[in-house]
């Protein structure tokens, strides 16, 4: 059972973030991390469909889950793919028994140490924009109240995307999602450069980038662009 106080804190943080102009990728990353923490999941990932209807990884709670999400995309099978194409949640899937359902993905997920998975649709009325995945290292069941809360968090992610100024200016939802995917690529490139420069792993590099942005009240996307355009500034950016 989730502590009511902690759940309230997360929704307050989400609401505070949505009030002002915000960085969508940073927001989705925060949401993935909180969702993983709240439901005692080992990892969480969030995928969105591009303009061709192909899922792309937008946020993950850690590097290992990101690699698994990428594999799911490449294999064109898995809980997130089913959730997106069918528009319904995948709940309490036992990965050790899912070889027939996902013959490529399930063995890879089990080999990575995961035993259970849930996937929740990111919905805009009758349209599904993507999915939120939760991976567990144990085989356990998610009860009805937790299912409703995770779906609420997935719906919040959809609201966040719709609140972006590009949509408010009248740009199409497809253009907005493609812009978010492009931003994700920039952040991944910056994360890799920081990791290489500081001799740390990608998760640590991302934590350093986020911490710097928060200390200095900067947007993650802006700092990532600075890192890519002027790698010599990495030490300056991350030691202030």
pLDDT of residue 131: 92
pLDDT of residue 223: 87
Q: Within a domain: residue 174?
A: no
Q: Do 189 and 157 fall into the same domain?
A: no
Q: Do 113 and 35 fall into the same domain?
A: yes
Q: Do 110 and 226 fall into the same domain?
A: no
Cα(190)–Cα(147) distance, integer angstroms: 35
The per-residue b/e assignment along 151-162, b for 16 or more CB within 10 angstroms, e otherwise, is bebbbbbbebbe
Q: How far is CA 217 from CA 19, 43, 125, 229, in A?
A: 15, 27, 34, 20
Cα(17)–Cα(23) distance, integer angstroms: 9
pLDDT of residue 103: 95
Q: Which residue has the tokens 């989400």?
A: 14
pLDDT of residue 171: 59
Q: Within a domain: residue 15?
A: yes
pLDDT of residue 18: 66
pTM over 0.75: no
Query: What's the token pair of residue 84?
Result: 């997106």
Q: Do 150 and 231 fall into the same domain?
A: no
pLDDT of residue 210: 81
Rounded to a whole number of angstroms, the CA Rg of the chain reads: 18
Q: Within a domain: residue 43?
A: yes
Q: Do 102 and 55 fall into the same domain?
A: yes
pLDDT of residue 197: 86
Q: Do 11 and 123 fall into the same domain?
A: yes
Q: Within a domain: residue 213?
A: yes
- Domain end: 110, 134, 163, which one? 163
Low-confidence residues in the chain, pLDDT < 70: 1-3, 15-22, 163-177, 237-240
pLDDT of residue 188: 84
Q: Do 232 and 159 fall into the same domain?
A: no
Q: Do 137 and 56 fall into the same domain?
A: yes
Q: Do 53 and 102 fall into the same domain?
A: yes
Q: Do 34 and 117 fall into the same domain?
A: yes
Q: Do 74 and 140 fall into the same domain?
A: yes
Q: Within a domain: residue 173?
A: no
- Domain end: 130, 163, 196, which one? 163
Nearest in space to 57 (alpha carbons), one of 91, 80, 83: 80
- Domain end: 95, 129, 163, which one? 163
Q: Do 124 and 193 fall into the same domain?
A: no
pLDDT of residue 158: 82
CATH at residue 83: 3.30.450.40
Query: What's the token pair of residue 70?
Result: 């990428």
Number of structural domains in the chain: 2
Range of the domain at 210: 184-239
β-pair partners for 193: none
């Amino acid at each position: 059972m989730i502590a009511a106080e902690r759940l309230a804190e997360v929704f307050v943080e989400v609401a505070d973030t949505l009030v002002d102009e915000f960085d969508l990728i940073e927001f989705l990353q925060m949401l993935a991390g909180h969702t993983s923490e709240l439901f005692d999941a080992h990892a969480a990932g969030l995928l969105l469909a591009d303009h061709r209807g192909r899922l792309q990884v937008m946020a993950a709670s850690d590097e290992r889950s990101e690699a698994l999400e990428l594999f799911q995309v490449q294999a064109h099978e898995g809980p997130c793919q089913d959730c997106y194409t069918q528009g319904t949640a995948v709940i309490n899937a036992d990965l050790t028994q899912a070889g027939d359902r996902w013959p490529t993905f399930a063995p890879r997920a089990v080999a990575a140490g995961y035993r259970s998975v849930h996937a929740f649709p990111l919905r805009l009325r009758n349209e599904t924009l993507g999915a939120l995945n939760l991976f567990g290292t144990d085989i356990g069941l998610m009860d009805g109240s937790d299912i409703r809360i995770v779906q609420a968090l997935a719906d919040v992610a959809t609201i966040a995307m719709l609140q972006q100024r590009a949509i408010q200016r009248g740009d199409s939802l497809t253009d907005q999602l493609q812009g978010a995917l492009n931003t994700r690529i920039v952040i991944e490139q910056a994360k890799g450069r920081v990791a290489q420069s500081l001799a740390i792993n990608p998760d640590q590099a991302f934590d350093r980038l986020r911490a710097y942005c928060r200390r200095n009240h900067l947007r993650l996307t802006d700092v990532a662009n600075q890192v890519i355009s002027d790698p010599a500034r990495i030490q300056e950016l991350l030691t202030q």
